[in-house]
C-alpha cells in the first residue's frame, strides 16, 4: 500500500454478518480487498466457528481474490496470548469477560477491546494506517441490530463503517447472500463461554458440544475458586445466580427467555 492509498478491510468474525461482507466483497459489491480475522484463541473461539473459517471462509476468499488474514494478540516478547490463557493465568485477580455478578448484572468487559479491537488496530497500523490516512474497517452489523452500531473510532488510525446498514440488509438477507454463493450459513461466532449468551445457547452447547460446555463450567469453577481466596462473591456465566451445571440442567428443555444482555457487545466487533 502506498501512502496515498487508504487501507480498506473487513473485521471478519466468522459469523453470519461478517461472512456476508466477505461474499459481498468477493462479488465486488463492496470495496474491501482484505478481511482480517482476529482469532481470540483456538482454546477460546467456538470450535464450530474455527471449523467454518478453515473449511469454507479461507478457501472461498482465496478463490475470489480476497485476502483473509488471521491475526492474534501478541505479548511484548512476541508470543501469542489467548483470552483463555489470560483468564487462567495463575494469580490473576481481574476478570476481563462480562461475568454475571451476584445481583445478575454483567461485570466489566475488556476482552473485546484487547483481543479484537486492538489486535486489528495493530494490524492496520503495521500496514500503513495513520491518523492522517486512517484505515476503513467494515463491521458486520445488519439492519436488525442497528442499535449496536456507533460512530466511535476505537483507535485514531481507523474509521469504522457499516456496509450492511448502508445496503439495508438484515440477518436473513445475509443468510440468503451466503447461500447464494454456495456456502453453508455459519454458526454464530463467539467465545463458547461468553456470559452474553442466552440460556438456550448453553443448552445447545451442552447437547451438541459437551466438551466445550464442560470447559465453560471448569472456567466458572476456577474463577470462583479465586473469588473465594479473595473473599468475594461468586460470579456466573448466566444470570441465574447459580453454577452453569445447575443453571443448564442436562436433558431439560428451557423456555426461550429474553436476556437483556444478549448481544450487548455494542462495539460490534464480536458476534458478527
Alpha-carbon distance of 108 to 96, in angstroms, equals 7
Position 252 in a domain: no
Position 14 in a domain: yes
pLDDT of 260 higher than 50: no
How far CA 66 is from CA of 70, 99, 194, in Å, comes to: 13, 36, 30
Could you tell me if 11 and 18 are in contact, meaning their C-beta atoms sit under 8 angstroms apart? yes
Position 60 in a domain: yes
Position 164 in a domain: yes
Confidence band for 156, pLDDT divided at 50, 70 and 90: confident
Strand order in the sheet with 135-138: 67-71, 34-38, 8-12, 135-138, 158-161
pLDDT of residue 22: 98
Position 144 in a domain: yes
Could you tell me if 2 and 24 are in contact, meaning their C-beta atoms sit under 8 angstroms apart? no
What is the domain range of residue 240?
A: 8-247
pLDDT of residue 102: 84
Q: What is the mean pLDDT of the chain?
A: 90
Which tens digit of pLDDT belongs to each residue from 181-204? Answer: 999 999 989 999 999 999 999 999
pLDDT of 175 higher than 90: yes
Which tens digit of pLDDT belongs to each residue from 51-105? Answer: 999 999 999 999 999 999 999 999 999 999 999 999 999 988 889 999 999 887 8
Report the candidate in 232, 218, 237, 202 with the shortest Cα–Cα distance to residue 88.
218
Position 203 in a domain: yes
Alpha-carbon distance of 235 to 167, in angstroms, equals 41
Position 1 in a domain: no
3-class state of residue 140 by DSSP:
coil
> Which triple of cell numbers denotes residue 185?
450459513
- How many domains does the structure of the chain reveal? 1
pLDDT of 1 higher than 50: no
Q: What is the CATH number of the domain that holds 13?
A: 3.40.50.620
Residue with cell 463491521: 139
Alpha-carbon distance of 240 to 22, in angstroms, equals 37
Position 271 in a domain: no
pLDDT of 257 higher than 70: no
Stated pTM of the model: 0.89
Amino acid at each position: 500500500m502506498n501512502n496515498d492509498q487508504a487501507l480498506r478491510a473487513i473485521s471478519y468474525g466468522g459469523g453470519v454478518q461478517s461472512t456476508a461482507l466477505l461474499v459481498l466483497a468477493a462479488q465486488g459489491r463492496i470495496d474491501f480487498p482484505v478481511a482480517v480475522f482476529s482469532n481470540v484463541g483456538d482454546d477460546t473461539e467456538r470450535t464450530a466457528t474455527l471449523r467454518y473459517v478453515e473449511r469454507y471462509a479461507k478457501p472461498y476468499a482465496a478463490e475470489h481474490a480476497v485476502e483473509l488474514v488471521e491475526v492474534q494478540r501478541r505479548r511484548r516478547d512476541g508470543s501469542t496470548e489467548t483470552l483463555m490463557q489470560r483468564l487462567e493465568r495463575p494469580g490473576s485477580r481481574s476478570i476481563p469477560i462480562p461475568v454475571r455478578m451476584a445481583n445478575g448484572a454483567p461485570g466489566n468487559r475488556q476482552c473485546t477491546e484487547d483481543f479484537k479491537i486492538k489486535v486489528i488496530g495493530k494490524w492496520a497500523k503495521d500496514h500503513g494506517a495513520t491518523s492522517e490516512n486512517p484505515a476503513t474497517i467494515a463491521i458486520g452489523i445488519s439492519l436488525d441490530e442497528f442499535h449496536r452500531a456507533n460512530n466511535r473510532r476505537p483507535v485514531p488510525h481507523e474509521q469504522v463503517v457499516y456496509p450492511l446498514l448502508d445496503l439495508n440488509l438484515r440477518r436473513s438477507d445475509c443468510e440468503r447472500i451466503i447461500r447464494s454463493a454456495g456456502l453453508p450459513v455459519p454458526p454464530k461466532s463467539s467465545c463458547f463461554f461468553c456470559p452474553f449468551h442466552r440460556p438456550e445457547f448453553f443448552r445447545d452447547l451442552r447437547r451438541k458440544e459437551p466438551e466445550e460446555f464442560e470447559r465453560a463450567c471448569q472456567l466458572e469453577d476456577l474463577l470462583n475458586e479465586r473469588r473465594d481466596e479473595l473473599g468475594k462473591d461468586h460470579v456466573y456465566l448466566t444470570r441465574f445466580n447459580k453454577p452453569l451445571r445447575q443453571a443448564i440442567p442436562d436433558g431439560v428443555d428451557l423456555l426461550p427467555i429474553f436476556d437483556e444482555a444478549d448481544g450487548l457487545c455494542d462495539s460490534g466487533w464480536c458476534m458478527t
